[in-house]
Structure 1
């Protein structure tokens, strides 16, 4: 649920699509006409003015030419009582005229430049007052982001410029020392008990014993220095070799290993088709008593003895 006064990026907002709303999409605002010989500083300014004109008057046009020199359109009713030829960039959508966020950006730019903290709700209201109908939250949010970039620059580009800026300060101001401190990226997730868990990762050349040894040694040093860790993983040979190597420090009682039942069930399904067999395997894995475990095993043995043979290749304490 989104607070109307928030300024967060929209993802899926109930009741707020990309459609613009308003009771009077044909409100008469903006320029009332154009004059022959009227000049503009560039093509973007000309197209923006034509968009304003078209949106306010609810007129539909067809593109004739569009390149770096020309942007030529004419009214769809041209020759049927209308002789209007004009430059425009509008898109018809679901029978209504769509105001794209580039046009909104030009209109809200002064507001954002005055106060970068202005909320999207306020910008929606300002746009509605200008055009006579209310654009969607998402369009106004995108328009504000574009305006912020135009005013303050892109975040990534600004960050990349820091080393050059610091060097420039050192070169122009003798005796200046600059220090750039960065913070490591920390990723996390939340379990069912509302505990925040870190998500470590590594970029390696491939999934093999060496890369797993590298990852697990750093995991132990920086994330899990305590004893009694349970490692739940698939049965990849690289993980097995890395965990069983004494020098890596992942043997009991320092750490214990279990197999991920989802991976086990997925591999099981490659050899034995049918949802019932897979369901019995998973049920056996989560059984809380021996009686329940062997009950599931007996059903699998009755269905196909090869299923039990496949499962018996794994140590029971690793997956049950």
Structure 2
């Protein structure tokens, strides 16, 4: 992709520095002079436009410019013997081959132009082998067409750009031209990738000036050239995110994802769940690659700036080698204060990839989510009978890392990194942008989120709600279950019962009873 962008930049240079002297599509007043002759490169004159010479199209385009049908029909007359590469003795000879001409002049003290001469008869045609019918439809013109769509969604697909051009002008452009148009518009809206690294310090400083408690750290490496450095890492988090985490579950899910811009890299995230069961983004980092060093740097800063006075904290992640390295090498991540747990979905994916046994799918989830050791061991015995190798694979991983029954309560029922991955998905629109734009958009997104949640919290308080809305809805839902409950009494004195909800059946098709001890206020239902 880097090579492709480099080629595209060369294309910009070619278009902006086009010096073709002949301007047949938009001739000057000199065309009225029968003795006028173009400077050079007569053969390319029929395919040169004002856009190729760096000029901007008029604010009010002529109707024929936007009406492709009329524009296309002008080329449907019979072809003469004129062709690309032919050399003529004079411009007069070329004009005799094709009589089509348009001459216009700018109105004095106005941006408008007046057509002075227009002869709409062709004796030639567009050569579809050299240049094609989209030759004058440059990437700059296409970029103007898709401006608003790229502003709304930087991920706007190239195939849709091609479709937009086809719908507007009836011409199908190639992928490279459409892709290049998108690059032009992205750089117009968000800046160039090369310059983005140079303005990153200013972007961070601007945010810090308006948010004094904004936490930021950067790492640059020397290049051997005086006063020149190479970007390596940047970490940032917002004070409201740190303060808000004090009221969340003491659990962080961390995840890394690819950036799609010119220079790639990775975006690392730490996300929590607040009291209303909403995603609470905590910290961000852009690094050159997901390595042991980058993950160690990110998680160390996370511990220093976010953990605060928490007695215990749980970090849920996949089994990435870089995260393994960080937990071995970073003192701030040491047990017993910090407990690492594995994402059950990632472990399941690894299991299914390795053993490809569909029967293991539900069994693994049942084992991982079992509330007590007895239930865990019962499911594991079934897994052993189903696939001995899969059983040995799981038993080689300490159960406390992935089984809820052995967790000790640190993960608070959160079994996956779905929250961080979900937030990652919400940032997809900015993952192909320059780094300074990514930082800016995370700031804007966080500011909007905190403002909306502050307002929602005030509304709930003014409404006299004792619980956050999502929690209250969950409680009411569970309250309705009592009308469909099947209860078995075991010991009224000790408060021991078995309860099942109508319609909730186990893998054997029978009611899914769970054990409840009312006196101790515990159950094995999750």
Q: TM-score range by the shorter chain?
A: 0.3 to 0.5
Q: State TM-score, norm by structure 2.
A: 0.32
Q: State TM-score, norm by structure 1.
A: 0.47
Structure with higher RCO (Cα < 8 A, 6+ apart): 1
